[in-house]
Structure 1
Amino acid sequence: MTGIDLASLTAIDVHTHCEVSARGRASLPAELHDASSAYFKVRGARKPTLQETAAYYRERSMAAVIFTVDAEHATGTAPVPNEEVAEAAAAHPDVLIPFASIDPFRGRAGVRQARRLVEEYGVRGFKFHPSIQGFFPNDRLAYGLYEVIEETGTIALFHTGQTGIGAGVPGGGGIRLKYSNPLHVDDVAVDFPHLKVILAHPSFPWQDEALAVATHKPGVHIDLSGWSPKYFPPQLVRYANSLLQDKVLFGSDFPVLTPDRWLADFADLPIKDAVRPKILKTNAARLLGLTGSGS
């Protein structure tokens, strides 16, 4: 991957969202978007453009993995085009790392799209949000996508645990939390033993399940996005400091949680000095295949 100068980076944020297209089209229905803003106590506008996101991270000497969420089958709302995200990353290769998102219900057409996004657009991974997309990760429905991801050496990133999207809306806006138990990803890690996986977020109420899967399966990692570090479960901090110190990754969940706030609270955690740079940059650089200057 060209454009990334690892030595100059302070951190790699592996979890940021593109929520609006260049034409101003949002990737979520307004009801669900507004519910998540209330859940995260976001004040003011929260829909930065891809260019604004690039400038934001460049000012902080950080790189950011960025993606949309394709859940059109369940929500009826089209995502920000994956091609648009990838093209913005190509225009800002020093700070943006493109991931894509494909609704598993797109079937064979989605599988073809995944391969094209990797081969023609340089996409480095794929975001799945089982609760919004309405599928269990171990459903064979998604296996064609996993085959492409494993074959191309890209990354599968799964939302896990509670979600702020739909929180407080009657019936949770139709979103079912059961789909995002990380234990369902254990089956995926067995059936695709060479697949690189990230379990996103502290996985409340299934934190122990996430730790078990990441400890047991070599390809499974955990990102720390979506929560202020001061609220991390103690067992997550303990494992990040020891058994999983090479498999835990900094992620913010920008724009609902900023890296500024996350890093300020992370500084107060009892993380070993030798482990901090692994979480903030080294682990992500290795997983993403970034090496040296301009890698």
Structure 2
Amino acid sequence: MVDLSKVRAIDIHTHAEEPCGCHDDDGYDDLQSTMASYFGAPWEHPPTIHQTAAHYREQNIAAVIFPVDAERETGYRRYDNDEVAEAVAENSDVLIQFGSIDPWKGKMAVREAKRLMRDYGVKGFKFHPTMQGFFPNDRMAYPFYEAIAEEGGIALFHTGQTGVGSGMPGGNGMRLKYSNPMYMDDVAVDFPELKIILAHPSFPWQEEALAVAQHKPNVYIDLSGWSPKYFPPILVRYCNSILKKKVLFGSDWPMITPERWLSDFEKIDIKDHLREDIIKGNAARLLGIAD
């Protein structure tokens, strides 16, 4: 259990990656190495969950961590949620688990989601519409959203362009259209009790993301995947004003380290009295570990 008094920040967006060598049959190692080059990530092989926990413990930062299940669309074997849960449980002083289940799995996804939330205390689920090949407002996914909402969970959606497949032939088959944040407006209307996070500065749809988060009380934005020094001015303006309680620190580890993100965040024009909420307080309240 994370002790809020002992951490200086909560990173709402980190990835559990299986080590290279586990994917000889499907090409995932090539995808990982290409992404690492795109982001300038400081590692040769992606860190394990235990290595991730050690890094965050050293930095006095807690982290929400999740795999991404995109087996149907990509052919890449998923990192099993139960394996992730077991590793996270051994590091629960700094790690908080979200799961990931391809919504195309239908009733199987619903059953697995309910089991993970009840058996392991999983607090939410990561969706990657571009990798999973679906529009977020596709009614196919609605029973899954309903299950998350019933358990009081959180749905975190990748939005905007992605580094996944960037520069690979055909973008490695990834279609950016699925991750326009405006599709989330339908989900927020149809599931007003579901807590929704729009992940990343949503290039090239930043204003759409801001509009949805401002208009819908159940929608938040995480700031992961970009160094803060590249944030567009309108995003900084909203962080300083009407979305000050709805923006969340996220790094996108292991592609960006939390210390690099926080260092760059110190250099941008955010009001001093809002910084603690953005890097810690807002996430703590959303996750239900603070009032």
Length-normalised TM-score, structure 1:
0.95
CA RMSD in angstroms comes to 1.5
Q: Runs of 4 or more off by more than 3 Å in structure 1?
A: none
CA distance in 2, matches of 1:131, 1:9: 33
Letter aligned with residue 129 of structure 1 = H
CA distance in 2, matches of 1:91, 1:68: 17
Aligned 1:102-121 pairs, distance under 5 A? 102-121=101-120
CA distance in 2, matches of 1:126, 1:168: 28
Contact 1:46-1:256 within 8 A present in 2 as well: no
Which SS does the other structure have where 1:194 is aligned? Answer: coil
Q: Does 1:25 align with 2:22?
A: yes
Q: Does 1:163 align with 2:162?
A: yes
Q: Does 1:131 align with 2:136?
A: no
Contact 1:111-1:145 within 8 A present in 2 as well: yes
State the shift of 1:217 in Å.
0.3
1:178 aligned residue: 177
CA distance in 2, matches of 1:80, 1:56: 21
Which SS does the other structure have where 2:196 is aligned? Answer: strand
2:261 aligned residue: 262
CA distance in 2, matches of 1:238, 1:114: 36
Letter aligned with residue 68 of structure 1 = P
1:235 aligned residue: 234
> Alignment identity in percent?
62
CA pair 28-253 structure 1, distance change in 2 beyond 3 A = farther
Aligned 1:34-183 pairs, distance under 5 A? 34-183=33-182
After superposition, what is the alpha-carbon deviation per residue over 1:143-166, rounded to whole angstroms, capped at 9, x for unaligned? 111001110011000000010111
CA distance in 1, matches of 2:79, 2:262: 28
Contact 1:40-1:256 within 8 A present in 2 as well: yes
CA distance in 1, matches of 2:45, 2:160: 23
CA distance in 2, matches of 1:89, 1:238: 36
1:290 aligned residue: 289
CA distance in 2, matches of 1:177, 1:33: 18
Letter aligned with residue 142 of structure 2 = Y
State the shift of 1:273 in Å.
1.1
CA distance in 1, matches of 2:203, 2:248: 17
CA distance in 2, matches of 1:28, 1:153: 36
Contact 1:28-1:75 within 8 A present in 2 as well: no
Count of residues in Structure 1 that have an aligned counterpart in Structure 2: 289
> What 5-or-longer segments of structure 2 have no aligned partner?
none
Letter aligned with residue 212 of structure 2 = V
Contact 2:12-2:249 within 8 A present in 1 as well: yes
> What 5-or-longer segments of structure 1 have no aligned partner?
none
State the shift of 1:29 in Å.
1.8
CA pair 287-28 structure 1, distance change in 2 beyond 3 A = farther
State the shift of 1:34 in Å.
2.4
Which SS does the other structure have where 1:199 is aligned? Answer: strand
State the shift of 1:35 in Å.
2.2
Contact 1:9-1:61 within 8 A present in 2 as well: yes
CA distance in 2, matches of 1:46, 1:227: 21
After superposition, what is the alpha-carbon deviation per residue over 1:182-217, rounded to whole angstroms, capped at 9, x for unaligned? 000110000000000000000000000000000000
Could you say which structure has the greater relative contact order, defined with CA pairs below 8 angstroms and 6 or more residues apart? Answer: 1
Letter aligned with residue 6 of structure 1 = L
Which SS does the other structure have where 2:64 is aligned? Answer: strand
Length-normalised TM-score, structure 2:
0.96
Contact 2:21-2:29 within 8 A present in 1 as well: no
CA distance in 1, matches of 2:67, 2:22: 12
After superposition, what is the alpha-carbon deviation per residue over 1:68-105, rounded to whole angstroms, capped at 9, x for unaligned? 00000011122111111111221111100000000011
